Amino acid sequence: MKLLLTRPEPGLTETSQSLISAGHDVICEPLFSCEPIAHPSLDLSHYSGLVFTSSNGVRTFNHDDEKSDIATFTVGDKTASIAVKANYSRVLSASGNVTRLTELVQNTLKSKTDKLLYVAGVERAGSLDQDLEKLGYRVQLLETYRMVPKICLTFQTVVAFQNQQISGILFYSPRAARLFCNLARNQLDLNTLKRITAFCLSARVAGELDVQFEKTCVAELPDETSILDLVAQT
């Protein structure tokens, strides 16, 4: 099966290799690129906890400590793994569940006077910082990157659609799903999508697809393993 992979780095290369190993042909079409935002290097001793909701946050965050034992909370296991590699020694993962993340914070930091540093992108889903503040924590939001959208699909991708070579598309975020639909309306014959399966990381991602596919499939859990399992079952 020839698949279009829309996720950006980090993750694009690893997912592509997994799909190729499973016997698929892959066209990489990252719809966003990560642009770091300059910020001063921070002293983590001023905080009781650090919150990351993406691996891009870990990669773009500057701090003074070479190795830190600050309580480091991540939404997903992948981000947790990258945090460990970045020398955070006390990492707790919510395994893809934002609600569980707030519970992790509550169970770990008992004092509501504790100050949290929430490292995130400019565009983000939900209101995690506000949710934590409602629990009584002091939260400082630090935006360390922005995701820059692509302005058009590559020539290779457009030709593959024209030749009806693509059988499935993997979508990892609501923004990517929305952007692809907009680009498709400008560059593709939408009828070509009616024979293609959309593989979505979550129901929220699937809900942003406003063009017609042959099938729209949603991963059981919002993680890499589940979406790859979804592809394997199709």
Report the pLDDT value the prediction gives residue 225, as an integer from 0 to 100.
92
Write the CATH number of the domain with boundaries 34-147: 3.40.50.10090
Report the pLDDT value the prediction gives residue 99, as an integer from 0 to 100.
82
Residue ranges of the chain that CATH labels 3.40.50.10090: 2-31+150-233, 34-147
Give yes or no for a contact between 146 and 123, defined as CB atoms under 8 angstroms apart: yes
Report the pLDDT value the prediction gives residue 233, as an integer from 0 to 100.
93
CATH class of the region 2-31+150-233? alpha beta
Below-70 pLDDT ranges, the chain: 66-67
